[in-house]
Amino acid sequence: MDQGLPDDFTVESAVALAVRAPSVHNSQPWQWRTGDRTIHLYADRTRQLGGADPDGRDLMLSCGAALHHLRVGFAALGWRAEVHRLPDPAEPDHLAAIELHRHQPTLDDIELAAAIPRRRTDRRRHSSWGVPQGYIEALARRAADEGAILRSALDSARYHLAGAIKEAAALHSDDPVYRTELAAWSGRHFSPDGVPSANTPAQDDTPGALPGRAFAEPQLAQAEGATGENDETVLLVLSTASDDAMSRLRAGEATSAVLLAATSLGLATSPLTEPLELAGTRDKVRDLVTGGTFPQMVLRTGWAPVNADPLPATPRRNPEEVLGKLGKPVTDPVRYRSH
């Protein structure tokens, strides 16, 4: 970049942190471009999941999470990101143009950036320890800073949310397009994208357990002694006042902010979007859980059992596949891999 702006190593370091963001099925549906004085985020529609995400909402959330990761990475490296979201109405896949300004990193900047390589999607059972209300309130403030609402699903709201999760899982199990897509994007061993077998447990048949996605070839063991009876999982629901592209992008940024803060607090987290991928179940969540605001993300949150093994990092695509110069295409050699 031009003199006075970050050098290439700094930019590459920030993008390396950005692409550690969670994405639906670890599809990593983003592209980054550098200009003389700006960095740009684009949606990669070739990686949109037709079965799980026909309207691209999950893709937009994924890209929003990567955008927030980038902001955090640059802040820790001494640069404040000024973000212009959806800068060109004629180019809807151009999601953000980022200008950078010198910045003195704060302790919070450094703590959030340090959480990026430690964050994992942990689909295992939680322990019997409760999550303090003060922690939930702190996470809600993080979401509010990004323009979203975060609330804990309690009592009847939790009952209705659990019902929507179960209903969506049942509907997806009867959808051959969804099942084929899920099988193709999971059960991975050496792929740079998709969901690795080492990070997915088998379906939990404990009475009352919430169903997760039926990923292929699950190999992750539950922690010894962890039982669904002691599960103190908190279901956090993130929503927005509207449901346009901007709201979805911001919801992705809020998701990242909450996940990184939760990681800093030592919590185990797992994003859930399955009940929000079907219009019927999403409407139920909106009417019965979020009070009319648009649900964008459910975050399964709790404490990992004390003897739970650390999870391996999920793989990411090579930098040359996602980062290039503005106006020049980046080649992604394989768009859709079978496991």
pLDDT, tens only, 204-247: 888 878 999 999 999 999 987 666 545 689 999 999 999 999 99
- Bridge pairing between strands 30-34 and 38-43: antiparallel
Instruction: Please list, in sequence order, all residues whose beta carbon lies within 8 angstroms of the beta carbon of residue 85, skipping any fewer than 6 positions away.
Output: 95, 96, 246, 249, 250
SS3 of 76-125 = HCCEEEEEEECCCCCCCCEEEEEEEEECCCCHHHHHHHHHCCCCCECCCC
d(CA 322, CA 280): 35
Inter-residue contact 276 to 296 (CB < 8 Å): yes
Question: Residue 220's CB: how many other CB atoms inside 10 A?
Answer: 18
Chain CA centroid to CA 332, Å: 22
- Per-residue pLDDT, 3: 61
Inter-residue contact 193 to 317 (CB < 8 Å): yes
216 phi/psi in degrees, rounded to 5: -75, 145
Q: Which two tokens stand for residue 224?
A: 């010894």
Task: Spell 125-141 as b/e; 16+ CB within 10 A means b.
Answer: bbbeeebeeebbeebbe
- Per-residue pLDDT, 334: 41
Nearest Cα to Cα of residue 103 among 83, 82, 80:
80
- Per-residue pLDDT, 206: 82
Domains and CATH numbers, the chain: 8-118+317-325 (3.40.109.10), 133-302 (3.40.109.10)
- Per-residue pLDDT, 336: 36
Tens of each residue's pLDDT in the chain, 339 residues: 666 689 999 999 999 999 999 999 999 999 999 998 899 999 999 999 999 999 999 999 999 999 999 999 999 999 999 999 999 999 999 999 999 999 999 999 999 999 999 999 999 999 999 999 999 999 999 999 999 999 999 999 999 999 999 999 999 999 999 999 999 999 999 999 999 999 999 998 888 789 999 999 999 999 876 665 456 899 999 999 999 999 999 999 999 999 999 999 999 999 999 999 999 999 999 999 999 999 999 999 999 999 999 999 999 999 889 999 987 655 554 443 333
- Per-residue pLDDT, 207: 81
Mark residue 301 as left, alpha or beta (left: phi above 0; alpha: psi -120 to 50; beta: remaining). beta
Inter-residue contact 124 to 220 (CB < 8 Å): yes
Instruction: Please list, in sequence order, all residues whose beta carbon lies within 8 angstroms of the beta carbon of residue 101, skipping any fewer than 6 positions away.
Output: 79, 80, 82
Residue 66 CA neighbour count, 13 Å, CB half: 30
Mark residue 292 as left, alpha or beta (left: phi above 0; alpha: psi -120 to 50; beta: remaining). left
- Per-residue pLDDT, 327: 77
